[in-house]
Amino acid sequence: MNIFRLTGDLSHLAAIIILLLKIWKTRSCAGISGKSQVLFALVFTTRYLDLLTSFISLYNTTMKIIYIGCAYATVYLIYVKFKATYDGNHDTFRVEFLVVPVGGLAFLVNHDFSPLEILWTFSIYLESVAILPQLFMISKTGEAETITTHYLFFLGLYRALYLINWIWRFYFEGFFDMIAIVAGVVQTILYCDFFYLYVTKVLKGKKLSLPA
């Protein structure tokens, strides 16, 4: 494992922990898109079904279990524990417009036409757009809490580091996965505008505001 993948995994984990701590400490899920979190839970569930069929390493298995567990814990906090604080009126993105096309694409473009491989491909495609309900919610409300922007920053940083990881692996290991790379590029592009606002406003102590 190279340093870029390791730091990418740690950035991903940091994003998840930041979100969970934000919800738990404030006893509120205000400003958090439950729909994005459901999509991420679906991403991890369909991607890590190989937990039942193969073992790669203790690190790999542990991280997969953490991702799945934290994803469902977040969904539970939003829709059950702190349901009264969930702002469903602003979380209105039509997720079926993401899930259905992504599901169709996974059937058409994959590495191997087998159930596990199609579900893995589905998870890769879905992850690239799963943050859209959250970004849509922020644009609709016009602003975001600082802690929420930190969550989004580390989530975007994880994907950017993974792009570097794939470049590294191509040059030093000869590994190349077009599906993962294209999906990763799409996901990183979705974060570009947010990264700019994060660096120019949030890191300078200003509140992040977006046009509604």
pLDDT surpassing 70 at residue 209? no
Which amino acid makes up residue 204?
K
- Taking only the tens place, the pLDDT of each residue in 23-75 is 999 999 998 999 999 999 999 999 999 998 889 899 999 999 999 999 999 99
Q: Among residues of the chain, what percentage have pLDDT more than 70?
A: 90
- Strands, DSSP E only, in the chain? 143-144, 208-209
Nearest-angstrom CA–CA distance, 34 and 181: 27
pLDDT score, position 93: 95
- Taking only the tens place, the pLDDT of each residue in 164-173 is 998 898 898 8
Domain chopping of the chain, boundaries: 3-200
Q: At residue 62, what are phi and psi to the nearest 5 degrees?
A: -60, -45
Residue 85 vs residue 203, higher pLDDT: 85
pLDDT score, position 53: 87
pLDDT score, position 43: 97
pLDDT score, position 49: 93
When the pLDDT of each residue in the chain is averaged and rounded to a whole number, the result is 89
Following CA atoms 201, 207, 211, 212 in sequence, which dihedral angle do they give, to the nearest 10 degrees? 150
pLDDT surpassing 60 at residue 158? yes
Residues 6+ apart with CB under 8 A from 198: 149, 152, 153, 208
